């Protein structure tokens, strides 16, 4: 018997597409395997959260040390993959680099075609280290920064920051990057995670699923919004220009309804009353500004946020404060979304493992809107 179809929903809004024990998103909370995001952000490091997502529980001190050692051990990329990165054009988007790198890594991973849970956990740990290493190598290639070996005692976020900048940064900066990775690690059935699960549901391999997820995350309506938000701040230019910039954009959209310009970093499908991750990250960015002297970015963001709330009733999402936090640390804008990848890969891999454990191929129905039944007219009569 065929399954009954329900009414189509644009963007699958409001549609329950499956079950998960990895993360829970509501209008007022975000939890990873039962732990509230605020609790995790302030009381754990990213590797603890990565372990939680992959293995289901927070690690003990010894488990964390062993996990960190395995992840850092994977930061030595296969020679062939490193050579491929060096051969890529320097002007391509870093997200395209990471998408290709993950696909290439599948050729050299000894567990590539093994979809058992044990093999997929090993692949997940390796991808966590390999993606960070790939971002670091790309930064060296495009920005000429120095090689920085991972510090065995540093957090994953602090090591990633050092590899991107070619130098070790202050304790606060490392903690903020690590904290943002906690905030970005998992978010239920978002576009990239759902893409990964859909690919996994065909019983394709982990590297295929993660490659597809990176492609989905690249878009400015998903992961790329943090880069777009920072370019927006740079376009505004100064705190005093916020209102003029906002009004000019509204005038443009009114005059060109078919070519509207979006204000990036705002709105969320679920968090209609504000993304609580954004407020956590804003506080961290304020702390950074006390060291960097770049508080004008927060003031500019707050002014634009006030206008958006008053006139559009829309709150910022996590990408909004991530933009000015990353910029204060000197991270190149094209690397903002790759940081997201280095974090969210843990959520993707956890979901892929969950999909394999209780799989049914994801194949939704559709609501047909084309012509009704027609007959073919012979070609000589058309």
The superfamily (CATH) of domain 19-218+334-357 is Citrate Synthase, domain 1 (1.10.580.10)
Angle between helices 117-143 and 336-357 (to 10 degrees): 170
pLDDT at 2 over 50: no
Q: Report pLDDT for 269.
A: 63
Within its chain, how far is the Cα of 237 from the centroid?
A: 27
Q: How far apart are CA 266 and CA 249, in angstroms?
A: 15
Q: How far apart are CA 334 and CA 176, in angstroms?
A: 18
Q: Report pLDDT for 29.
A: 85
CA distances to 26, 137, 155, 191, 231 from 36, rounded to whole Å, are: 11, 34, 21, 22, 31
Instruction: Please give the positions annotated as active site.
Output: 222, 268, 319
Task: Output b/e per residue, 302-320; b: 16+ Cβ within 10 A.
Answer: ebbbebbeeeeeebbbbbb
Q: Report pLDDT for 268.
A: 67
Structure tokens at 313: 């009733």
Start-end ranges of CATH 1.10.580.10 in the chain?
19-218+334-357
How many C-beta neighbours within 10 Å does residue 141 have? 15
Look at residues 273, 68, 268 and name the one whose alpha carbon lies nearest to residue 157.
68
Residue 348: partners with Cβ closer than 8 Å, 6 or more residues away: 192, 193, 196, 209, 210, 213
- CATH topology for 225-328 is Cytochrome p450-Terp; domain 2 (1.10.230)
Q: How far apart are CA 164 and CA 148, in angstroms?
A: 9
DSSP SS3 for 172: helix
Q: How far apart are CA 34 and CA 24, in angstroms?
A: 8
Q: Report pLDDT for 1.
A: 37
295-342 pLDDT, tens digit each: 999 999 999 999 999 999 998 989 999 999 999 999 999 999 999 999
Structure tokens at 159: 């090591």
Residue 150: partners with Cβ closer than 8 Å, 6 or more residues away: 72, 75, 159, 162, 163
Is residue 267 very low, low, confident or very high in pLDDT (cuts 50, 70, 90)? confident
Tell me the mean pLDDT in the region 19-28: 90
Torsion angle defined by CA atoms of residues 33, 39, 44 and 45, in that order, rounded to the nearest 10 degrees? 80
Q: Report pLDDT for 139.
A: 97
Share of the chain above pLDDT 70, in %: 97
221-264 pLDDT, tens digit each: 787 889 999 999 999 999 999 999 999 999 999 999 988 888 98
pLDDT at 9 over 80: no
The residue behind tokens 């296969």 is: 78
DSSP SS3 for 15: coil
Cα-Cα-Cα-Cα dihedral sign, residues 235, 323, 77, 348: negative
Q: How far apart are CA 4 and CA 23, in angstroms?
A: 28
What pTM, to 2 d.p., does this model score?
0.92
Share of the chain above pLDDT 90, in %: 83
CA distances to 4, 20, 32, 108, 293 from 53, rounded to whole Å, are: 34, 12, 7, 25, 36
Q: Do 168 and 162 form a contact (C-beta atoms < 8 A)?
A: yes
Q: Do 207 and 112 form a contact (C-beta atoms < 8 A)?
A: yes
Start-end ranges of CATH 1.10.230.10 in the chain?
225-328
Out of 7-21, 42-56, 111-125, 200-214, least confident range:
7-21
Alpha-helical segments (H) within the chain: 37-43, 46-55, 61-73, 79-87, 94-108, 117-143, 156-165, 171-184, 191-201, 206-217, 225-236, 242-255, 276-292, 296-312, 319-328, 336-357
Tell me the mean pLDDT in the region 364-379: 94
Structure tokens at 72: 């850092």
93-126 pLDDT, tens digit each: 999 999 999 999 999 999 999 999 999 999 999 9
Taking the chain, what is the end-to-end CA distance rounded to the nearest angstrom? 40
């Amino acid at each position: 018997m065929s399954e009954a179809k329900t009414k189509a929903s644009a963007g699958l809004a409001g549609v329950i597409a499956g079950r998960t024990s990895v993360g829970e998103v509501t209008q007022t909370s975000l939890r990873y395997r039962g732990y509230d995001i605020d609790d995790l952000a302030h009381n754990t490091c990213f590797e603890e959260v990565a372990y939680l997502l992959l293995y289901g529980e927070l690690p003990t001190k010894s488990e964390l040390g062993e996990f960190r050692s395995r992840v850092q051990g994977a930061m030595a990329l296969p020679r062939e993959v490193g050579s491929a990165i060096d051969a890529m054009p320097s002007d391509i988007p870093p997200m395209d680099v990471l998408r290709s790198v993950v696909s290439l890594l599948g050729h050299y991973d000894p567990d590539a075609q093994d979809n058992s849970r044990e093999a997929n956990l090993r692949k997940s740990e390796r991808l966590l280290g390999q993606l960070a290493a790939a971002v670091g190598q790309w930064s060296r290639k495009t920005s000429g920064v120095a090689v920085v070996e991972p510090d065995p005692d540093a957090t994953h976020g602090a090591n990633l920051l050092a590899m991107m900048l070619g130098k070790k940064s202050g304790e606060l900066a490392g903690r903020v990057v690590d904290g943002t990775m906690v905030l970005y690690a998992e978010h239920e059935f978002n576009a990239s995670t759902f893409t990964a699960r859909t690919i996994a549901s065909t019983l394709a391999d982990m590297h295929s699923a993660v490659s597809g997820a990176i492609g989905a995350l690249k878009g400015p309506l998903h992961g790329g919004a943090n880069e777009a938000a920072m370019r927006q701040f740079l376009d505004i230019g100064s705190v005093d220009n916020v209102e003029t910039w906002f009004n000019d954009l509204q005038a443009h959209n009114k005059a060109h309804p078919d070519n509207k310009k979006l204000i990036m970093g705002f709105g969320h499908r679920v968090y209609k009353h504000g993304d609580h991750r954004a407020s956590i990250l804003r506080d961290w960015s304020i702390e950074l500004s006390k060291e960097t002297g770049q508080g004008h970015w927060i003031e500019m963001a707050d002014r634009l946020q006030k206008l958006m709330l008053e006139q559009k009733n829309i709150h910022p999402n996590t990408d909004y404060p991530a933009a000015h936090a990353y910029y204060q640390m000197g991270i190149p804008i094209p690397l903002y979304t790759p940081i997201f990848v280095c974090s969210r890969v843990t959520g993707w891999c956890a979901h892929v493992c969950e999909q394999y454990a209780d799989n049914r191929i994801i194949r939704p129905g559709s609501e047909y809107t084309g012509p009704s039944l027609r007959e073919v007219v012979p070609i000589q009569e058309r």
